[in-house]
Structure 1
Amino acid sequence: MASSLYGVLFLVGLCAPIYCVPPANVPRGGSPHPSSIKSIPTSQVSSRNADFAFRLYRRLVLEAPSRNIFFSPMSVSASLAMLSLGARSATKTQILQSLGFNLTCTPEPAIHRGFQNLVHSLTVPGKDLSLQMGSVLFIKRELQLQARFLDNVKRLYEAKVFSTDFSDTAMARTRINSYVEKETRGKVVDLIQSLDPLTAMVLVNHIFFKAKWEKPFNPADTKKSFPFLVGKGATVRVPMMHQMEQFAFGVDPELNCFVLQMNYRGDSVAFFVLPGKGKMKQLEQALSARTLRKWSHSLQKRWIEVFIPRFSISASYDLETILPKMGIHSAFDKSADFSGIAKRDSLQVSKATHKAVLDVSEEGTEAVAATATKLVVRSKDGPSHPTVSFDRAFLMLIMDEATESILFLGKVENPTKS
């Protein structure tokens, strides 16, 4: 049975608190509709999403240093963009600016059309590669939604909408968690730990990815117990996959790191990035859409001996404590203006939860010259091909080639910690 990388959820509970938030004095028609507005190119949305992904990654590292990091930037970006449809005034501006968009240069309708194209592209059913992303709104029965918001989330983000009784929090929680578990093939369970009785809306974005390597590893070549360096001098034992093959490979001399690209069958690729010893922080600070483009264009196919651990990791994040540090403040406090969502109720975001699971195995994932660097390990009389062993902390990115989108991003500090 193939191992898989199973998806990621961004959940937002929009609360209708007891207090009232005075409506902002802004026009009501600010949602994208005019057909005369052209979408921005998908590549531009992907580039903004990549920079947002790396900013969020750096923030997650600050919150949990020396721990495994894993999340779906695409899931978080799409959820925030969809949420911005119902935001007004500073709440809207903060969300879209944090995603990297300048509303002076790019009209909001064009941004959402760009996301629309992206969301539509990211559904690839297939035998060897399955990629599915979806959004769901669980709406309090008594909540009267703005018709334009409802139309836009369905039309632009292909969202489903379910009426939900939040007065019975246990039943609502079970319903949402069951839906999420089904959509992620049973890999993401109990996403929501609790619900506030004041919850008015829960927004869920899920992404599911399962793919086979174009050049799979032979399980017979996997070393059952291989040392992997964690922390200062400490090691853990991991199963280490091994193969000699032609892969796109390079060394970035500026960032002092190896970059290995391994293709999946279909239009997705994985990047494994191994910094030199003591150079992880330098690499993390330099990550950007530009860095990613540089790697994509400079890697060259060559014979290489590769050692990559077989592992499974998961991560959960309470984004309501992280996103305000990235500039999205008002969505989470009493100044929130989501008057584009509901006709009467004053709403604010009460919870933003993100959970991701990654499995990497010999079969696949269900979720420069080597001589230019001192990091290449070879003996005097050994073969001329480079050898790269991912036996210490490394980064992993999974990308959709057709849209140049980062689907998943993570750091493996300890592959034995799930």
Structure 2
Amino acid sequence: MKGSIILTFTKLTAGFVVLSLLSSCSLSAKPSQISIQDRQETASNLDTKVVKAANGFGLQIHKQLALQDPDVNIFLSPLSISMALGMAYNGSSGTTKEQMASALGWKGMSDEEINRGNQTLNTLLQKSGKGVEVHMANSMWLRKDFSFNKKFLDTNKTYYGAKAEELDFNDSDKTVQTINKWVDEQTKAKIPNLLKQVDPSDVMFLVNAVYFKGAWTQEFRTADTKDDLFKKKNGSSKTVKMMSQQGSYEYVKAEDYEAVRLPYGEGQMDLLVVLPDEQSTLQALQEKIWQDPSQFQKPFKKSSGQIRIPRFKAEYGKSLIESLKKMGMNIPFDPLQADLSRIAATPPNLFIGKVTHKSYIEVNEKGTEAAAATVVGVKTTSLEQPQDPFDLKVDRPFFIAIEDRQTGAWLFVGSIVEP
């Protein structure tokens, strides 16, 4: 998973934020120099309210999107969206800030708690341990003839590690080249041309780059992958490449669903797969997860059994503005009422004009590749364990989450209706 965020502020026209997580071609992850024990100790110092907020926020976004498009694969990154909006949040005030905090799950938390929580989580994710590699980087690219609030810049430098560099935005080609080169380096050449042009009204780009690579703790044997049928929502079936593996996994079977965790690396991260009972539906399962995800986030008992899951790819893209509005975040998108005055002195007034998320996931015998992209535009008006071994065959629509077991963060969530 690789990615970048660009947050552009303009004086006259729309700016944008781009968060792109693109996967690496290789899944033989380079180990990070930290033991599981040391990582767990660091995780114990993490403010769990920040993780809970990001997970809850992501599930609410997932809910809105799944209700809008129930027949398509939906896959998104709650953490990346939350981080992107978090940087913009540092520039908000008044009712704009209140609505953003409410939607993001930060109501009642101080700026210090939010920023320090994101800082600790960012640091911990990059100390990912053997078999999993995560890299995050932030930067701020500033129009050299525009005045920004120093506190806003310092806050993002301190908590997000965002470097600040002034550029001559009048030289559009050179500015684009400079920023794209930085993004290209941070994402290991997976996003070579993120920015296309700089408009005369652009005053700042906030860029976040994220890279993730994970390998299964126990790879699936390619020789065991066979053609099999997957039952679609409309009752028909399609042939898929069904991977198969036997082993000991965290597994639970409830009255209306089964769930299993497939670990990466040394088990510090995993893919959570939740399959509704044949007499139930994905919609009913999702309603249960949206209402109370805690039962799916707690540890399951270890069980021996067989897991069969399709080898699949899924892509998704959608504007999040309507979903965010349904979550009560309205004023930040209002040109006349939005208050982002902590970014720069007003007038001109700044408001969010675009929030788009794009994502990609591939699951195969070696591991998981994932990608996500979020575009946020800022405009201005003038500027239980079974008795017998289990056999879980994922052959109908299912829910997934890529989760960090030590922090509890769900990096991605999704519903796969057709592999």
CA distance in structure 2 between the partners assigned to 1:200 and 1:323 by the alignment? 25
Letter in 2 for 1:128: G
- 1:409 aligned onto 2:413: yes
CA distance in structure 2 between the partners assigned to 1:138 and 1:62 by the alignment? 37
Give the secondary structure class of the aligned counterpart of 1:122: helix
- 1:337 aligned onto 2:342: no
- 1:108 aligned onto 2:106: no
Q: CA deviation at 1:260?
A: 0.4
Distance 1:41 1:240, change over 3 A: same
Which position in structure 2 is the counterpart of 1:228? 230
Q: CA deviation at 1:102?
A: 2.2
Which position in structure 2 is the counterpart of 1:159? 162
Q: Choose the corresponding residue for 1:132, options 117, 131, 135.
A: 135
Q: CA deviation at 1:337?
A: 1.3
Superimposed CA distance per residue, residues 154-186 of structure 1 (whole angstroms, 9 cap, x where no aligned partner):
101112334355556676566655644543345
Q: How does 1:393-404 map to 2 (within 5 A)?
A: 393-404=397-408
Q: Choose the corresponding residue for 1:14, options 2, 9, 12.
A: 9
Which position in structure 1 is the counterpart of 2:72? 67
Q: CA deviation at 1:208?
A: 2.1
Answer whether contact 1:48 1:101 (CA < 8 A) is retained: yes
CA distance in structure 2 between the partners assigned to 1:337 and 1:407 by the alignment? 29
CA distance in structure 1 between the partners assigned to 2:273 and 2:207 by the alignment? 29
- 1:53 aligned onto 2:58: yes
CA distance in structure 2 between the partners assigned to 1:191 and 1:284 by the alignment? 34
Letter in 1 for 2:265: R
Answer whether contact 2:233 2:397 (CA < 8 A) is retained: no
Answer whether contact 2:4 2:187 (CA < 8 A) is retained: no
CA distance in structure 2 between the partners assigned to 1:317 and 1:269 by the alignment? 26
- 1:264 aligned onto 2:259: no
Q: How does 1:236-247 map to 2 (within 5 A)?
A: 236-247=238-249
Query: How many equivalent residue pairs?
Result: 372
Superimposed CA distance per residue, residues 181-236 of structure 1 (whole angstroms, 9 cap, x where no aligned partner):
5433455576567876533333343332211111211111111x222222312222
Q: How does 1:260-299 map to 2 (within 5 A)?
A: 260-266=260-266, 267-277=268-278, 278-288=280-290, 290-291=292-293, 293-297=294-298, 299=300
- What percentage of residue pairs aligned between the two structures are identical? 29
CA distance in structure 1 between the partners assigned to 2:68 and 2:252 by the alignment? 31
Distance 1:195 1:397, change over 3 A: farther
Q: Choose the corresponding residue for 1:145, options 134, 144, 148.
A: 148
Q: CA deviation at 1:360?
A: 1.4
Query: Does 71-80 or 191-200 show the bigger shift?
Result: 191-200
CA distance in structure 2 between the partners assigned to 1:161 and 1:366 by the alignment? 31
Distance 1:67 1:166, change over 3 A: farther
Gaps in structure 2 of 5+ consecutive residues = 15-44, 371-383
Distance 1:353 1:18, change over 3 A: closer
CA distance in structure 2 between the partners assigned to 1:313 and 1:395 by the alignment? 13
Letter in 2 for 1:14: F
Answer whether contact 2:46 2:121 (CA < 8 A) is retained: no
Answer whether contact 2:303 2:386 (CA < 8 A) is retained: no
Give the secondary structure class of the aligned counterpart of 1:287: helix
Distance 1:11 1:237, change over 3 A: farther
Which position in structure 2 is the counterpart of 1:322? 323
Answer whether contact 1:10 1:353 (CA < 8 A) is retained: no
CA distance in structure 2 between the partners assigned to 1:10 and 1:325 by the alignment? 24
CA distance in structure 2 between the partners assigned to 1:172 and 1:59 by the alignment? 37
Distance 1:7 1:63, change over 3 A: farther
Q: CA deviation at 1:395?
A: 1.3
Distance 1:170 1:68, change over 3 A: farther
Letter in 1 for 2:142: I
Answer whether contact 2:302 2:385 (CA < 8 A) is retained: no
Gaps in structure 1 of 5+ consecutive residues = 1-5, 20-39, 372-383
Q: CA deviation at 1:295?
A: 3.1
Answer whether contact 1:139 1:161 (CA < 8 A) is retained: yes
Superimposed CA distance per residue, residues 27-55 of structure 1 (whole angstroms, 9 cap, x where no aligned partner):
xxxxxxxxxxxxx9521211111111110
CA distance in structure 2 between the partners assigned to 1:97 and 1:167 by the alignment? 38
Letter in 2 for 1:326: M
Query: Does 193-202 or 134-143 show the bigger shift?
Result: 193-202
Give the secondary structure class of the aligned counterpart of 1:312: strand
With structure 2 as the length reference, what TM-score do the two structures score? 0.80
Distance 1:320 1:288, change over 3 A: closer
Q: CA deviation at 1:127?
A: 5.6
Distance 1:406 1:189, change over 3 A: farther
Query: Does 182-191 or 360-369 show the bigger shift?
Result: 182-191
Give the secondary structure class of the aligned counterpart of 2:145: coil
Give the secondary structure class of the aligned counterpart of 2:413: strand
Give the secondary structure class of the aligned counterpart of 1:304: strand
Which position in structure 2 is the counterpart of 1:26? none
Superimposed CA distance per residue, residues 304-357 of structure 1 (whole angstroms, 9 cap, x where no aligned partner):
111111122222233344323322222222122111111354322233333322
Distance 1:338 1:366, change over 3 A: same
Give the secondary structure class of the aligned counterpart of 2:298: helix
CA distance in structure 2 between the partners assigned to 1:165 and 1:229 by the alignment? 56
Q: CA deviation at 1:75?
A: 0.7
Letter in 2 for 1:402: Q
